[in-house]
Structure 1
Amino acid sequence: PNTALVGVQVDSEQFGSQQVSRNYHLRGRILQVPSNYNPQTRQYSGIWDGTFKPAYSNNMAWCLWDMLTHPRYGMG
């Protein structure tokens, strides 16, 4: 639990002498963000009502908020 893991198994003969590179696209982590915040566009709509919602985000401001307030791994 609370862990991300990636495993890849390939046959080296498929690539010959070519060096293999791997890339991963990470969306960020699920954080509590303001209810009027859209993490995909990083825009706010309307007036914030003071509530939060869980959403994927890589916005550093909300990542810091998460690290400071989360009860399990933050200062929370």
Structure 2
Amino acid sequence: MAPYERLLGDALRGDPALFVREDTVEAAWRVVDQVLDEATPFYEYEPNTWGPPEAEKLIADAGGWHNPTVVASEM
């Protein structure tokens, strides 16, 4: 039986095993809507860099970011 045949058959028989209840969907959308409604800024940066300067602010409280350096003996 093809997957869609099973899904439609289960729906017609009233088998809820492969379906999510309405209250679960509503709870998920409460979380997703908050994320989608948030005005998150997008910062562009050059390719092959460690990202935009604004990224430093995200981890400033944790001591900041230290760019990794390659030691000749590790190459």
TM-score w.r.t. the length of structure 1 is 0.17
TM-score w.r.t. the length of structure 2 is 0.17
* Larger helix percent: 2
- Which structure exhibits the higher relative contact order, with contacts defined as CA atoms closer than 8 Å and separated by 6 or more residues? 1
Query: Which structure has the bigger radius of gyration?
Result: 2
